[in-house]
Amino acid sequence: MSTPSAPSAGAFIAALPKVELHVHLVGSASVPTVLDLARRHPGGPVPTTEEELREFYVFRDFPHFTTVYEGVNSLVREPEDVATLVTGAARDLAAQNARYVELTVTPYSHHRMGMTPRAVTEALDLAAREAAGFGVRVAYIFDIPGEYGADAARATLDHALAEPPRDLIGLGLAGLEEVRARHRDTFHDAFRAATAAGLHSLPHAGEVGGPPIIWEAVEDLRAERIGHGIRCLDDPRLVAHLRETRLPLEVCPTSNVRTRQVPDLASHPLPRLLEEGLYVTLNSDDPPMFGTTLEGEYQVAAEVFGLGPAALADLARAAVLASFLDEQGKREIIAEIDRVPLPA
């Protein structure tokens, strides 16, 4: 009896079971979903035609990206909208052979649109149950939007501790890194309270700002993973620390290009991060906004950075091991990865 032939490189990437650790709920909204919301809530900053929306998604710099993101977020006005985004993200990931996602939600943004913490939590719990029907397990990270300071930190922490969704696993911190410094003590206090309550520390750092903000995440926020972290390469001592502690980095190559933090994919530091022996995972961040997918990031790793199938499988395993999925779930996904034959 003949054995199955190994897949081609593209088919191998498609067949590879995947885990997504760094993707934002609003940023995961598909173009058709955003257009539907924009037409449902006219008069806002978001265009209502596909051509104009794709132009809207051309970012001048990181502050411009945050402005656009906020505009899209303003369309999410009802708990049903929140649930729709979660199930949409799960459906899209299922089509890419993803098994598990740690989805970043910014509840303060939904509070500002008039939703109560309980309503948001109920929508998230409902959507997680529906996502399971696509074969994707969903966990949540509650993200503090750093530019909103103490109010956002308190509201996010209160929601996380008082009315958390069933699958809440961690607290994050995002937004303009240079603005976050003004509220440093408040954020430190919020992370201390969250980790004392059993949540994981999962801040963004080193996407725009340099090594000091990564050191702050490591030393003051007790980060268990770093969102982005690509600026670590500017500090050899930090690189050595990250290598020795095996602190995972959630690397999002296309995102960094689209927000103008890296000039082009060929210049992206992912190959050097790997050469330095750092713990790297591959992620999509805000895929429709950036014109990418999780599968597309693996394709970039193969086609632009020259990573072979074995290295791609190692990245897939790294994401599983860096996740906060239960140990049985991790073993099952890794076993699936191991069963995918490498191309000849």
Nearest C-alpha neighbor of 101 from the set 250, 203, 222: 250
Query: What stretches of 175-263 adopt beta strand conformation (E)?
Result: 200-201, 204-205, 226-228, 249-251
244 is catalytic: no
Marked catalytic residue, from 207, 250, 295, 297: 207
What's the alpha-carbon Rg for the chain, to the nearest Å? 19
- Tell whether the torsion through CA atoms of 252, 254, 256 and 258 is positive or negative: negative
> Does residue 300 sit in helix, strand or coil?
helix
Q: Give the SS3 label for residue 205.
A: strand
CA proximity to 168, closest of 197, 132, 206, 130? 197
Strand partners, 201: 171
> Which 3-state string (H, E, C) describes 132-156?
HCCCCEEEEEEEEEHHHHHHHHHHH
Retrieve residue 275's tokens. 């050469």
Asked if residue 293 lies in contact with residue 304, where contact means CB atoms within 8 angstroms, the answer is no
251 φ/ψ angles, rounded to the nearest 5 degrees: -95, 135
What's the burial of 296, exposed, middle or buried (CB within 10 Å: 0-12/13-18/19+)?
middle
Enumerate the active-site residues: 207
